């Protein structure tokens, strides 16, 4: 199956602004969930677009630049720690993808959503399981979201080097969990997740 097959079917049906939607960071202990939406003009093909987790970082960064150049429209949105803790991570992820749809310049006429569920929508949509490997638009959204979020977590990691966010970008690695036990949680940690500590982080403590 070609990674543009789904889009090509929709383009033939007359849809002109098919937006691919994906999010990253659902399984992280820290940092926002990030979603992206990408619309391509009918006929555009970018080679190499696939699930962002399967792409080496350097290639991912290069692809992100190409996507931004060739996309008819693209946007990136954050779902905050507060939204995650209030809504839970699933609904915060879906709400963050909806922020991409609601961006005034988007004006999509069809939604391609990674995963198996979405919010109620007046715009027709299809949920595509493992869509980032089956749809170029979803894969492109996956790449933009991951590059953005990884960079964000690396920047935060400069302020909180104890947690190793420069490499784990907030995921629950053994390093991250050990740092939580030793140093406590920060304002960037998701309190609705099992962090393994009730201690609040104090900058400079134990360093």
**Confidence (pLDDT) at 207:** 44
Give the largest CA-CA distance in the chain: 62
Beta bridge partners of 185: 200
Task: Give the residue extent of every domain in the chain.
Answer: 5-156
Cα–Cα distance for residue pair 150/40, rounded to 1 Å:
24
In this predicted model, what pLDDT tens digit does every residue of 178-196 receive, in sequence order? 999 999 999 999 999 999 9
For residue 42, count CB atoms less than 10 angstroms from its CB and return exposed for 0-12, middle for 13-18, buried for 19 or more.
middle
Q: What mean pLDDT value characterizes the chain? A: 95
Order across the sheet with 33-39: list the strands. 73-79, 33-39, 18-24, 110-114, 125-128
Q: How far is CA 197 from the centre of its chain?
A: 26
- pTM metric for this prediction: 0.95
- Band of the pLDDT at 112, cuts 50, 70, 90? very high
Whether domain 5-156 has CATH 3.90.76.10: no
**Confidence (pLDDT) at 131:** 95
Q: Check if the beta carbon of residue 87 is closer than 8 Å to that of residue 163.
A: no
**What number is the average pLDDT over the span 56-64?**
96
Q: Check if the beta carbon of residue 75 is closer than 8 Å to that of residue 103.
A: yes
- Say how many residues make up the chain: 207
Q: Check if the beta carbon of residue 60 is closer than 8 Å to that of residue 52.
A: yes
- Band of the pLDDT at 136, cuts 50, 70, 90? very high
Torsion over CA: 66, 67, 73, 75 (sign): negative
**Confidence (pLDDT) at 202:** 83
- Band of the pLDDT at 197, cuts 50, 70, 90? very high
Residue 6 has pLDDT above 90, yes or no: yes
């Amino acid at each position: 199956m070609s990674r543009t097959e789904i889009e090509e079917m929709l383009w033939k049906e007359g849809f002109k602004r098919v937006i691919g939607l994906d999010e990253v960071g659902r399984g992280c202990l820290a940092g926002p969930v990030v979603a992206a939406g990408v619309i391509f003009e009918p006929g555009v093909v970018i080679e190499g677009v696939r699930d962002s987790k399967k792409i080496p970082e350097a290639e991912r960064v290069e692809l992100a630049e190409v996507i931004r150049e060739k996309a008819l429209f693209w946007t990136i949105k954050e779902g905050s720690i507060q939204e995650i803790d209030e809504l839970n991570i699933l609904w915060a992820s879906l709400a963050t993808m909806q922020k991409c749809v609601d961006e005034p310049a988007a004006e999509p006429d069809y939604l391609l959503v990674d995963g198996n569920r979405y919010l109620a929508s007046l715009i027709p949509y299809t949920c595509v399981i493992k869509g980032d490997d089956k749809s170029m638009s979803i894969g492109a959204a996956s790449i933009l979201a991951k590059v953005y979020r990884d960079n964000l977590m690396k920047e935060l990691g400069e302020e909180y080097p104890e947690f190793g966010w420069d490499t784990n970008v907030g995921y629950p690695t053994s390093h991250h969990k050990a740092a939580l036990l030793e140093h406590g949680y920060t304002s960037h940690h998701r309190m609705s997740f099992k962090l393994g500590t009730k201690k609040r982080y104090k900058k400079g403590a134990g360093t």
